Amino acid sequence: MSWALEILKASLYAVIVFTFAAVFAAMLGVYLERKISGWIQARVGPKHVGPQGILQTVADTIKLLQKENIVPRNADFLVFSTAPLIVTVAALLGYVVIPWGKLGDWILIVRDLNIGVLYFAAVSSLIVIGILTGGWSSNNKYALLGGLRSASQLISYELPLGFAIISVAMMAGSLSTVDIVNAQRDVWFVFKQPLAFLIFLIAAAAETNRIPFDLPEAESELVAGYFAEYTGMRFALFQLGEYAEMLAMAAMTTVLFLGGWRGPWLPPILWFFIKTYAVVFFFMWVRWTYPRLRIDQLLNLSWKVLLPLGLLNILGTGLVVTLAR
Amino acid sequence: MRGEMAAFILLAAVTVIPAIVVVTSRNIVRAALSLVPTFLGVSGLYVLLQAEFVTAIQVLIYAGAITVLILFVIMLTAGGTGLPVRQVNEQVPLGILVAGALAGGLLFVLLRAPWPMVSGEMPRYNARAIGTALLTNYALVFEVTSLVLLVSLIGAIIIARREGS
């Protein structure tokens, strides 16, 4: 009965990691977003619930849990209620291959897949299905427009993202996240692959629908975009998916370019979180200081700038790797 | 072995049940959306076969890109989503006959074919082997496939241009 035990263990892992990651990533993410936006706009941010407003997100979550789930009369109920689940599950699946740190010789990772980074790119490409169907099933023109914008944006930026990942995998000679971190023993890949790092950061911001790439949910044009019709916990699930995806992208940036858990003096797990939250801070900093791009500028940036640059970078990397061998 | 069998039955159900929805649903968006669990079920079968690289590519290309493109096109077509679609016509009996004959023929051949069994350990890292094979023994097939994609791309652009002008 070892396989039954194996399945039970996998489910338990999934529940622990997903609930922890979900609660931690989303709640802390929303709190940080509000605090940092307040700081940038010379406000205080949440202040009243708990010390420095740290429990504000908990209070918001409890409020959202109690709210009624409203389904628009002409919505496709089945698709409407599945869409938030697709977004959340797809965002959380990426956490399987992220190595959070090292305790002694034991690497804190759910499963070190031999296709690690490819798996990450694959599951994060599923998010767009949830966004697209959520926008369509609401039977609302703003939601549909948001969903369609999201589809064109995410498909376009998946390619530069993949190219950046390929350059790093070529340097490391492996697709496994643990091997990639180990390959950065001497020099972080951000110094060896600055162009790939830049492309990855831009594409990651676009993949997580953040300003300056937040056209799918541009509030001044589309009310709230694809989740305009969602209320209560279903709305919260979309938020959870978004922030979980942002943390996953930040963690992946750390793994691919910033040396993962490696660093002097401090324990590895602490290093990992310092680097990851530095990237999260960068995403938020950009969000609250830059205006939004137009859709044509957005697509031009991807197809006419990032894509050729990414291809050239792969060519250069290949040349260097071959000559160095 | 029983665990593998259980996993296979589960994955087969995940693959086949949505596939039936794809060909029977009167709602075209639901039909397109049902392709996603089908593709994911197939990628699960690849995992059972220890072809992890193909699994990831299957999810990335089919579930993540092709389905999205299909949905995108359906939603951009005017009136494409609201109409109930009739997926069957009066030729159902004939279709059943042809499909049944084809399935029988395939089963007959597949059950009799001697499948070569190779024992030994799978390499932990098969992406490298796939890459080497694609650029040496199968380089011609690889290039021809990319040419086919290029031709279809050009064709699509020409059709779109003609309708626009």
The ipTM assigned to this model is 0.78
Q: Taking CB atoms and an 8 Å limit, are B71 and A136 in contact across chains?
A: yes
Residue B116: CB atoms within 10 A of its CB come to 5
Task: Please tell me the total number of residues recorded for chain B in this structure.
Answer: 165
Task: Look at the block and give the residue holding tokens 């077509």.
Answer: B77
Query: Using one digit for the tens of pLDDT, what is the confidence trace for A16-34?
Result: 777 776 677 777 888 888 8
**Helix A77-93, helix A116-124: angle, nearest 10:** 160
Choose from B1, B4, B33 for mutation: most chain A CBs within 10 A. Answer: B33
Q: Looking at residue A230, what is its pLDDT?
A: 79
Q: Which residues of A touch B33 (CB under 8 A)?
A: 79, 129, 133
Radius of gyration of chain B (CA): 20
Residue A307 lies in a domain: yes
Q: Taking CB atoms and an 8 Å limit, are B65 and A125 in contact across chains?
A: yes
Are A56 and A210 contacting, i.e. CB atoms less than 8 angstroms apart? no
Q: Which of residues 76-115 of B touch A (CB under 8 A)?
A: 76, 81
**Calpha distance A117→A165 (Å, rounded):** 7
Q: Looking at residue B78, what is its pLDDT?
A: 61
**Calpha distance A117→A110 (Å, rounded):** 14
Q: Point out the residue among A4, A114, A155 whose CB comes nearest to the CB of B68.
A: A155
Task: Look at the block and give the residue holding tokens 């401090």.
Answer: A266
Residue A134 lies in a domain: yes
Domain total for chain A?
1
Q: Point out the residue among A6, A122, A151 whose CB comes nearest to the CB of B59.
A: A122
Chain A closest CA to B99's CA: distance in Å? 31
Residue A310 lies in a domain: yes
Residue A140 lies in a domain: yes
Q: Taking CB atoms and an 8 Å limit, are A155 and B67 in contact across chains?
A: no
pLDDT tens, per residue, chain B with 165 residues: 577 788 888 889 989 999 988 888 877 888 888 888 999 999 988 888 878 888 888 888 888 888 888 887 787 776 656 667 777 778 888 989 999 999 999 999 988 888 777 777 766 667 777 888 888 888 899 899 999 999 998 988 888 787 655
**Calpha distance A31→B45 (Å, rounded):** 41
Q: What angle do CA A18, A75, B72 make, to 5 degrees?
A: 75
Residue A162: CB atoms within 10 A of its CB come to 19
Q: Taking CB atoms and an 8 Å limit, are B68 and A133 in contact across chains?
A: no
- The torsion of the CA quartet A40, A46, A51, A56, rounded to 10 degrees, works out to -130
Q: Point out the residue among B56, B75, B76 whose CB comes nearest to the CB of A118.
A: B56
Q: Where do runs of H (alpha helix) occur along B25-63?
A: 28-33, 35-48, 52-58
Residue A54 lies in a domain: no
**Calpha distance A139→A148 (Å, rounded):** 13
Chain A closest CA to B88's CA: distance in Å? 23
B62 touches chain A (CB under 8 A): no
Residue A277 lies in a domain: yes
- Provide φ and ψ at A103, rounded to 5°: -115, 105
Q: Which residues of A touch B81 (CB under 8 A)?
A: 136
Q: Which residues of B touch A6 (CB under 8 A)?
A: 3
Chain A closest CA to B3's CA: distance in Å? 5
Q: Taking CB atoms and an 8 Å limit, are A155 and B124 in contact across chains?
A: no
Query: Using one digit for the tens of pLDDT, what is the confidence trace for A67-120?
Result: 877 777 777 788 888 888 888 888 888 888 888 877 777 777 777 778 888 888
What distance lies between CA A139 and its chain's CA centroid? 27
Q: Looking at residue A75, what is its pLDDT?
A: 72
Q: Taking CB atoms and an 8 Å limit, are A155 and B65 in contact across chains?
A: yes
Q: Taking CB atoms and an 8 Å limit, are B60 and A148 in contact across chains?
A: no
SS (H, E, C) chain A: CHHHHHHHHHHHHHHHHHHHHHHHHHHHHHHHHHHHHHHHCCCCCCCCCCHHHCCHHHHHHHHHHHCCCCCCCCCCHHHHHHHHHHHHHHHHHHHHHCCCCEECCEECCCCCCCCHHHHHHHHHCCHHHHHHHHHHHCCCHHHHHHHHHHHHHHHHHHHHHHHHHHHHHHHHCCCCHHHHHHCCCCCCHHHHCHHHHHHHHHHHHHHCCCCCCCHHHCHHHHCCHHHCCCCHHHHHHHHHHHHHHHHHHHHHHHHHHCCCCCCCCCCHHHHHHHHHHHHHHHHHHHHCCCCCCCHHHHHHHHHHHHHHHHHHHHHHHHHHHHHHC
Choose from A111, A112, A136, A139 for mutation: most chain B CBs within 10 A. Answer: A136
Q: Which domain holds residue A70?
A: 64-324
Q: Looking at residue A274, what is its pLDDT?
A: 87
Q: Which residues of B touch A119 (CB under 8 A)?
A: 56
pLDDT tens, per residue, chain A with 325 residues: 577 787 788 788 778 777 776 677 777 888 888 888 888 888 887 778 778 777 887 888 888 888 877 777 777 788 888 888 888 888 888 888 888 877 777 777 777 778 888 888 888 888 888 888 888 887 777 888 878 888 788 888 888 888 888 888 888 888 888 888 888 888 888 788 888 888 998 888 888 777 677 666 666 666 667 777 777 778 888 888 888 888 888 888 988 888 878 778 777 888 888 888 888 888 888 888 887 777 788 888 888 888 899 999 999 888 988 888 7
Q: State which amino acid sits at residue B127.
A: A
B64 touches chain A (CB under 8 A): yes
State how far the alpha carbon of A24 is from the alpha carbons of A20, A58, B124, in Å.
6, 11, 34
Q: Taking CB atoms and an 8 Å limit, are A122 and B52 in contact across chains?
A: no
Residue A44 lies in a domain: no
Q: Which residue of B has its CA nearest to A79?
A: B30
Q: Which residue of A has its CA nearest to B2?
A: A3
- What percentage of chain A has pLDDT greater than the value 90? 1
B6 touches chain A (CB under 8 A): yes
Residue A271 lies in a domain: yes
Whose CA is closest to A240, among A87, A98, A131, A69? Answer: A87
Q: Which residue of B has its CA nearest to A83?
A: B33
Q: Taking CB atoms and an 8 Å limit, are B33 and A147 in contact across chains?
A: no
